[in-house]
Amino acid sequence: MTTMLEQRRAHDAWTVDDLDQFEENDGNRYELVDGILVVSPSPRPTHQWISRGLFRALDRACPAELEVFYAPLDWQPNQRNSLQPDLLVVARKDVGDGPLTKPLRLAVEILSPSSRLYDTKVKFAKYAEGGVASYWIVDPEGGPSIVAYGLVDGEYVEVARGSGDDEVRLTQPYPVTVVPSALVG
């Protein structure tokens, strides 16, 4: 018996419709970038501690018209792209029963050794291209640290940065203060 991956020819582009064929909860994250399938392993405990801490901080400060979610939740701006930020903020009015398709207010990626280049280059470009208003990159190593970007004329510009015990005061997508060292454990 051949698998779906074996049936695919290298020159065939994947679409968001193909993602429904994968088994849920198999421990992998399936994303599409310009029709190319990207499979990532499940995250480590430090990654999850940071995700939990950020979710709590974002959720406490979240205004009623917005909603905070954590992975896995697909953002599919078109048929050839499907990304799963570690955390995301979206307008409540843009949430239905399926994948999110409208531009996100915030996407957060927590770096892992296997995702560092992908998150800082590929996803950075795809989120900007898709109109995601704010993008935060959290690095667990050496602190941890956070770098926040805001979308200006279709390009990300750095709006805040901090590590360790720094208080990182962010205004987008809404006011929230994050202390990177408080996110671990």
Q: Give per-residue pLDDT as tens, 40-56.
A: 767 788 889 999 999 99
The CATH number that applies at residue 133 is 3.90.1570.10
**DSSP one-letter string for 101-157:** -SPPSEEEEE--TTTHHIIIIIHHHHHHHTT-SEEEEEE-TTS-EEEEEEEETTEEE
Q: What's the domain count of the chain?
A: 1
- For residue 146, being part of any structural domain is answered with yes
Q: What is the pLDDT of residue 25?
A: 61
Q: Is 26 helix (H, G, I), strand (E, B) or coil?
A: coil
- For residue 14, being part of any structural domain is answered with no
- For residue 153, being part of any structural domain is answered with yes
Close Cβ partners of 24 (under 8 Å, ≥ 6 residues apart): none
**pLDDT at residue 58 tops 50:** yes
Q: What is the pLDDT of residue 15?
A: 85
Q: Sheet harboring 75-78: ordered strands across?
A: 36-41, 28-33, 81-83, 75-78
Q: Name the residue with tokens 């499940």.
A: 42
Band (4; pLDDT cuts 50, 70, 90): very low
- For residue 5, being part of any structural domain is answered with no
- For residue 19, being part of any structural domain is answered with no
Band (96; pLDDT cuts 50, 70, 90): very high
Domain that holds residue 167: 41-183
117-129 confidence digits (pLDDT tens): 889 999 999 999 9
Closest CA to 78 of 124, 37, 135, 34: 34
- For residue 80, being part of any structural domain is answered with yes
- For residue 58, being part of any structural domain is answered with yes
70-94 confidence digits (pLDDT tens): 988 999 999 998 899 999 999 999 9
